Amino acid sequence: MFDKLKEECGIFGIYSMDNNEALAFPTAVGLSTLQHRGEESCGIAINDGGIIVNHKDVGLVNSVFKPHILEQMPTGKMSIGHVRYSTTGDPKKENAQPMVIRHAKGNLAVVHNGNLTNALELREELQKNGAIFNSTSDTEVICYIIARERLKTHSIEDAIVNAMKYIKGAYSLLVMTSQKLIAVRDPNGFRPLCMGKLNGKDIVFSSESCAINIVGGDFERDIKPGELVVVTNNEVKSIDARNNAKETLCIFEYIYFARPDSTINGLNVHKFREEAGKYLSIQAPVDADIVAGVPDSGLDAALGYSKHSKIPYDIAFVKSKYIGRTFIQSTQKTRKAQVALKLNPIKTTVEGKKIVLVDDSIVRGNTLRRLIKTLKKAGAKEVHLRIAAPPFIDVCYFGTDIDSKENLIACQKSIEEIREEMGADSLEYLDLENVKKIVAEYGIKDFCAGCFTGKYPIEVPKEIKKDKFEKIF
């Protein structure tokens, strides 16, 4: 747990209406577009004439799938891919996805975005009945449950519908067999999943619409909560397994996780963030010379704040394009050095100025504390911190790495104490009521905001532990 929240994964898949298509490259491009959703590992599985060929490893997409690797991968009719950031299980190769298993009725490959709330209980039950696990990821639990149900049913889609009665929590899945590609979204729709068309005929699934656009496809619609979309024999059918659950997409998809060029449930992510900045300017106005965002996550909200307040928008920091994300560094000392290398203030912009500094959230606050310190060292007269989300006060059970209240500064200190620790001249968070107003304009009435309220849309465990399966080994 560092200074920015991490979302568990991104998934991408293609079903070609022709046979023997070169799917590895467009799948890798789709995964690269979703790289922000997971930087620990990645993988691609291709259905090569009924045989599933899988390549995966720890690392970024462009390092795991170098040109010669993509050229060696077979052509096929279907492909699925995955980028991973772990909320359960270590960042090891065996936890990379897709997960591929063989069972009595065929082969199965699965990629998963989300987090199960009852994975530990299911895992222990499966082990008592002889299951042997090769990873510490809850995705492998999903594979076993689907395979078990497949032995009792006439089709893979029936097996998945049965499996959905057992698995609880957040799961957007792509399931590939020798004949079918199936997209699945949990009944609450905690994590996004959408579909489109490539070349006017091939079916594309993605965690975010931006990846469909980048590969040259056309976004069609979101997968509905509790829906299965089954693609087989050049046909597409939909199955409703929602069972009257309330749709509760994670609101942090809009606040931080998703790319600004993605649209989820009819609401563009950039538009949401710009509106968040607008409401911040109404809720927490300040006399200032410029508005600046923390790259990259605060830029959209900063623009919205500037537009509505009429305070000029400017760039306070230059971001290095060649420094990796700070959360993957192994030590706190290294992370601090990386932050200093990654963001450098523009002295001529900030010197003598009163600045509104906008960011999407505060987790522990270490990065913002250093950034405000560097702004003042560069000559900023005042720094007024504006956060485009409510304070984090509770853990997340659905695929975000908020696993302990002790890591959340808002659980330890008052807003005034946080302001003082940050070194800011003022501090304001966006009210949850204003978040509700923004999404309500687009017909979104319900969403999961458990990390802001401590109230969750479904039953959650009494406690949550990161790497909760490790004790089994």
Residue among 152, 71, 157 nearest 108 (CA) = 157
Question: Could you tell me the sign of the dihedral formed by the alpha carbons of 317, 400, 440, 415, in that order?
Answer: negative
Please list, in sequence order, all residues whose beta carbon lies within 8 angstroms of the beta carbon of residue 437, skipping any fewer than 6 positions away: 279
- Catalogue the E-assigned strands of 338-446: 343-345, 354-359, 382-387, 426-429
- What does the block give as tokens for 174? 């792509």
The single-letter DSSP state of residue 254 is: I
* CA 208 – CA 175 distance, rounded (Å): 17
Asked if 9 is an active-site residue, the reply is: yes
Please list, in sequence order, all residues whose beta carbon lies within 8 angstroms of the beta carbon of residue 471, skipping any fewer than 6 positions away: none
Alpha-carbon 32 to chain mean position: 14
- Catalytic choice (9, 143, 396, 448): 9
Element (H, E) at 184: strand 180-185
421-424: list long-range contacts, CB under 8 Å, 24+ apart. Answer: 421/365, 421/369, 422/362, 422/365, 422/368, 422/369, 422/372, 422/385, 423/369, 423/372, 423/373, 423/376, 423/383, 424/357, 424/372, 424/383, 424/384, 424/385
306-310: list long-range contacts, CB under 8 Å, 24+ apart. Answer: 306/277, 307/274, 307/277, 307/278, 308/277, 308/278, 308/281, 308/282, 309/281, 309/285, 309/356
> Would you name the residues annotated as active-site residues?
9
